[in-house]
Structure 1
Amino acid sequence: MEFHHLRTFVAVAEEGNLSRAAERLNLSLPAVSAHVKSLEEELGVSLFNRSARGMEPTGAARRLCETARDALSRAQDLFAQARSLRGEAAGDIVLSRNTDPEFLRLPRMLAVLGREHPRSLVHVDCCDSYNVAQTLKAGRVHAGFAYGCFDDEPQLTALPLGMACVRVVGPPAWRERLEQAAVSDLAAMPWVWFHERCPFVLMARDLLAEEGTPPRTAAVINDEDTIRSLVASGMGLSLLREDMARPDNPGRELAVWPGGALGIPINLVALTKRLHEPEVKAALDAAAEAWGLDRAARAASEGTVRGNAPDTAPEAGGEACGA
């Protein structure tokens, strides 16, 4: 019995049509028909009744289809385990990023993946930190960059990359006002706020908690570039990465409150149950190398570390987190 015969059988049963099954499998129509006929001869049962509506599975086919699906799934598990034993990532590696690639050291990470896994193809999508867990659980990505803590997510393993520096920022015209401001003054000013599940919300609330009243919200934004633009235009205060508040281009600096910096962990997160997969392991190892993690910190890529960044993790050195 051939593996591809089972795959064709399941496709025809699910599609109910030879043409659609052929398109799904990227095969010719005669090839699909030949696979079905060969499997029927080998099994000694009729699998489909041909009608005007298409290919109707027989009673025997309906019972056998579940077994065929299970056999295909087990075969795929076998191939995945074999790739893991070889340490080879030969397929797509899908990542998500929550901020700009330079800050996340993606160019360095992709260079490592290209060197160590030349047969893999890396895809990078955008995903906010608060959606990374959902995206991972849905199986849409192998690993995702995110800010915050994951101690309450037992299904996830976070590789701590560092601690980001975040500052309270305001319009350039408010510089003198901010230099003299106490926390009570910050609470009285308008704020460019964040999506409710953004990790910055908790940071801002903790900072302003002693005032007892929520800040006056001028806008709710989940994009750091937009936040920066609105703050620069005079709309209000916000939290931003320190490098975005003090960019390399002179004249574009925002006013920074001197009362102190806030820290938030930077992680590359993956599903714990998928850590053995070569694509996931390759992504975590490449991120660890790109961020210069020592051996203890890199143990997270084997699923032994979960949650916040350890004391040994590098600081972002002015490269802090986004929304």
Structure 2
Amino acid sequence: MELYQLRTFLTIAEEGNLTRAAEKLFTSQPAVSAQVKQLEEELGVKLFERSARGMALTREGKMLQEKARRIVEAARDFKHSAESLRETVSGELVFGLNNRPEVLKIVEVLGALTSEHPELNYDLVNGSSGTILEGIDDGSISIGFFEGVCEFPRIESHVLEPIELCIAAPAAWARELSSPDWKVLETKPWIFVSRACSYFRAIESICSDQGLKLQQRFRVDECLTVLNLVAEGLGLTLAARNHIEAPEFQGRIIALPHFQTTVNLSIGYLRENADRPAVAAARDVVLGLWKNDLAARDSSVTRGRGIRAARPKGRSHR
């Protein structure tokens, strides 16, 4: 019996659904199903009743649930205690990523960490903001990026920068959608993201504010897939402007003028783990990179203003 099998058992018990459990565990549904089947075979008891509505614990499953939780938590505490005894920052850091690598500066983050702490290993997992936050809260993710509001009281977070959101549309629809008419948008197919994503809550806010009933034709968990569907003319979605303006979507996707808002990109971790060497190292590197980047941008703006101020007065030539 492996710890990951117990974690899978507990996650399915909490979610009651294989698909949602797989999303939370950052794996596939067949893998989750195989793990729980192997556990049942090894234990010799049936843990779940399977139905069209989902997965429900059997009487035996309910009796074993709390014992499994104590084992997983004890193993986590044991690992954390061992990490605190090391003289160097080492072990494994599970990093949650909710956005494109260039947005999260993940190459720079990992470059700085591996240079400063060569004995530290990494497990990078991708998911929506809500899934990342759930993973941090239950201890399966050490530290992670997320967008929007954190509603988990045990999580400590630091705002890094605002992310601008707008409606993404196929470039072929540009003329038809040039005027901000919400009723026209209501007739178009929409591509929704996971309910665990902060963008989904933003779409819900649009519908509530405008009294709309949008046509959800697709629901996709991964943002790059969403934008590829938009680029192929299959629907509208809400997306970060920096995604829409990525080189691969130039001339294929446009940002509509109907709606614009911002959500904060943040880094978060369990407050009780703030002093864990690996978590503290990752936090400090991330905050340092964003602080330096902000200082560089401010310096660039200041230099630009200085250049304009130094121009001689007189007629301009166009």
Query: What are the residue-to-residue correspondences of 1:121-200 with 2, within 5 Å?
Result: 121-150=121-150, 152-200=151-199
Partner of 1:262: 261
Question: Match of 1:178, SS?
Answer: coil
- Displacement of 1:266: 0.8
- Displacement of 1:208: 3.0
How many aligned residue pairs are there? 222
Cα distance in 2 for partners of 1:242, 1:153 equals 27
Does the aligned pair in 1 maintain the 2:231–2:249 contact within 8 Å?
no
- Displacement of 1:169: 1.1
- Displacement of 1:283: 1.1
Does the aligned pair in 2 maintain the 1:129–1:147 contact within 8 Å?
yes
Residue 115, structure 1, aligned to residue 94, structure 2 = no
Structure 1 pair 74–153 and aligned structure 2 pair: CA distance change class (3 A): closer
After superposition, the CA RMSD in angstroms is 2.8
Spell out structure 1 runs of 4+ moving beyond 4 A.
71-83
Structure 1 pair 225–72 and aligned structure 2 pair: CA distance change class (3 A): closer
Pick which of 167-176 and 72-81 moved more.
72-81
- Displacement of 1:273: 0.9
Point out where structure 2 has 5 or more consecutive residues left out of the alignment.
1-73, 299-318
Does the aligned pair in 1 maintain the 2:168–2:255 contact within 8 Å?
yes
- Displacement of 1:138: 3.2
Does the aligned pair in 2 maintain the 1:190–1:235 contact within 8 Å?
yes
Cα distance in 2 for partners of 1:194, 1:284 equals 28
Does the aligned pair in 1 maintain the 2:128–2:194 contact within 8 Å?
no
Structure 1 pair 162–119 and aligned structure 2 pair: CA distance change class (3 A): same
Partner of 1:216: 215
Q: What is the identity percentage for the equivalent residue pairs of Structure 1 and Structure 2?
A: 21
Cα distance in 1 for partners of 2:187, 2:269 equals 40
TM-score by length of 2: 0.62
Structure 1 pair 133–255 and aligned structure 2 pair: CA distance change class (3 A): closer
Structure 1 pair 193–137 and aligned structure 2 pair: CA distance change class (3 A): same
Cα distance in 1 for partners of 2:288, 2:261 equals 26
TM-score by length of 1: 0.62
Which digits, 9 at most, give the CA deviation of each residue in 1:216-239, with x for residues without a partner?
111111111111111112222101
Cα distance in 1 for partners of 2:194, 2:123 equals 26
Cα distance in 2 for partners of 1:252, 1:73 equals 49
- Displacement of 1:184: 3.3
Structure 1 pair 106–175 and aligned structure 2 pair: CA distance change class (3 A): same
Question: Match of 1:276, SS?
Answer: coil
Partner of 1:231: 230
Q: Which amino acid aligns with 1:248?
A: P
Larger-gyration structure (1/2):
1
Does the aligned pair in 1 maintain the 2:143–2:267 contact within 8 Å?
yes
Q: Which amino acid aligns with 1:207?
A: I
Q: Which amino acid aligns with 1:90?
A: S
Does the aligned pair in 2 maintain the 1:183–1:208 contact within 8 Å?
no
Question: Match of 2:156, SS?
Answer: strand
Does the aligned pair in 1 maintain the 2:133–2:146 contact within 8 Å?
no
Question: Match of 2:112, SS?
Answer: helix
Q: Which amino acid aligns with 2:203?
A: A
Question: Match of 2:132, SS?
Answer: helix
